[in-house]
Amino acid sequence: MLESDVLADPVALTRALVDIESVSGDEAEITDAVEVALRGAGHLDVRRAGNTLLARTDLGRDRRVVLAGHLDTVPVADNLPSTVDGDVLWGCGTSDMKSGSAIALWLALTQTASRYDVSYFFYDCEEVEGARNGLRKVADSNPEWLTADFAILLEPTYGLVEAGCQGTMRVIVHTTGKRAHSARSWLGRNAIHAAGEALRRLDGYRARRVTIDGCEYREGLNAVRISGGIAGNVIPDACDIEVNYRFAPDRSVPEAEAHLREVFDGFEVNVTDSAPGALPGLTSVPAQEFLARVGQPPAAKLGWTDVSRFAGLGIPALNFGPGDPNVAHARDERVEIPKIREGARTLADWLSPPPGAAS
């Protein structure tokens, strides 16, 4: 249960959400608490699907915008409960992205008048594989919930607008050999040694930098896990290298796959997971009004976010949140309290009806 004084302050609300542990797959408690708060507001239509919540206004506006934040975190790393030191709030999820979700919840409860109708999403399982993502499930089961003219994901951007997002793909590069006793290694063929060529290609790889609408996207291709071996006295006959590719949004998923098969020509390559990027969504009227309110030029989002999901539905979207992406998922994850207040004020000013407009 979130107390009324907590709900009235985005900083206090951030800390309260952080202190409800919600590692991906274990979001029921935090979702229940957010649902109770939303249902206590008479101006919102609240719907729930699993551990994903939608709260929407129905003010009869010409345009509808989305504010969305996920409630899950990566596993705790001895960084709960939260602590405060001066102007810094420390703890798991402070940056990614409970400070952003807290702002969205605060706005949902306090912004009873708005220049747009607003759909607020609070969803689960963003930090794990895409099949479990709460927004993806809603898109499959209740796509009409996502209807909007523009969306903002409150992912950590340190108070800047980060446009679009990179695509992501994971593949397994598989090598084979011949099993043998290590005392007679010449009778076998070492699959781990065979992986050396794939690793050399990765080490020598030069990633692209792509500028789209003034935003520079930096690609990356990296080995993230390697597995192989049978026993201390056996020449291994199989080895797998897991490779992650972050690609600019000018490439489609099929184009990204074709590129990886070219890089690893001669090896068996199996795609295990992928998600498309999103081109910068900066041209819609709400986006232009928001950029004017922020007052700083946008940058490229170096990472994947659910902006991609909205882009796939034809809804322009961007990222904006108070957290620092450079400390997301870290043991010393933190958020600066002034950034929370600045982000809340920027979004509230953007949503507020112009002077003289009917509420």
Catalytic residue among 126, 155, 257, 333: 126
CA distance 316 to 122: 19
Q: What is the pLDDT of residue 358?
A: 57
CA distance 151 to 61: 16
Confidence of residue 230 (pLDDT cuts 50, 70, 90): very high
Confidence of residue 129 (pLDDT cuts 50, 70, 90): confident
pLDDT at 123 over 90: yes
CA distance 29 to 25: 11
pLDDT at 357 over 80: no
Q: Is the pTM of this model over 0.85?
A: yes
* Run of H or E residues at 210: strand 209-212
Higher pLDDT, 113 or 357: 113
Q: Which of 44-53, 60-69, 123-132, 235-244 comes out lowest in average pLDDT?
A: 123-132
Q: What is the pLDDT of residue 151?
A: 96
pLDDT at 179 over 90: yes
Any alpha helices (H) in the chain, and if so which ranges?
4-7, 10-18, 28-39, 99-110, 134-141, 191-203, 253-263, 285-294, 307-312, 337-351
pLDDT tens string 54-78: 999 999 999 999 999 999 999 999 9
Q: Which CATH number fits domain 4-165+278-351: 3.40.630.10, 3.60.21.10, 3.90.1150.10, 2.60.40.10?
A: 3.40.630.10
Q: What is the pLDDT of residue 218?
A: 96
* Average pLDDT value for residue range 327-350: 97
The answer to whether the peptide bond before residue 169 is cis (omega within 30 degrees of 0) is no
Confidence of residue 293 (pLDDT cuts 50, 70, 90): very high
Q: What is the pLDDT of residue 130?
A: 83
Confidence of residue 206 (pLDDT cuts 50, 70, 90): very high
Q: What is the pLDDT of residue 359?
A: 57
pLDDT at 102 over 80: yes
Structure tokens, 120:
């607020």
- Give the SS3 label for residue 25: coil
Torsion of CA 148, 149, 153, 157, to 10 degrees: -170
Cα within 13 Å of Cα(74), Cβ side: 14
Catalytic residue among 27, 72, 237, 333: 72
Domain ranges within the chain, ordered by starting residue? 4-165+278-351, 167-275
Q: What is the pLDDT of residue 177?
A: 96
Q: Are 308 and 275 in contact (CB under 8 A)?
A: yes
The architecture (CATH level 2) of 167-275 comes to: 2-Layer Sandwich (3.30)
Structure tokens, 313:
């539905």
pLDDT at 167 over 80: yes
pLDDT tens string 330-339: 999 999 999 9
In the block, which residue shows the tokens 């809603």? 138
pLDDT at 265 over 90: yes
- 19 assigned to active site: no
pLDDT at 10 over 90: yes
pLDDT at 84 over 60: yes
Q: What is the pLDDT of residue 246?
A: 97
The percentage of the chain sitting over the pLDDT mark of 90, rounded to a whole number, equals 94
Q: For the chain, report the end-to-end CA distance as a whole number of angstroms.
A: 30
Number of Cβ within 10 Å of residue 332's Cβ equals 9
Higher pLDDT, 273 or 174: 174
- 144 assigned to active site: no
* Average pLDDT value for residue range 72-98: 97
In the block, which residue shows the tokens 């946008």? 298
* Average pLDDT value for residue range 257-264: 98
pLDDT at 356 over 90: no
pLDDT at 110 over 60: yes
pLDDT tens string 134-155: 999 999 999 999 999 999 999 9
Pairing type for strands 88-90 and 334-336 reads antiparallel
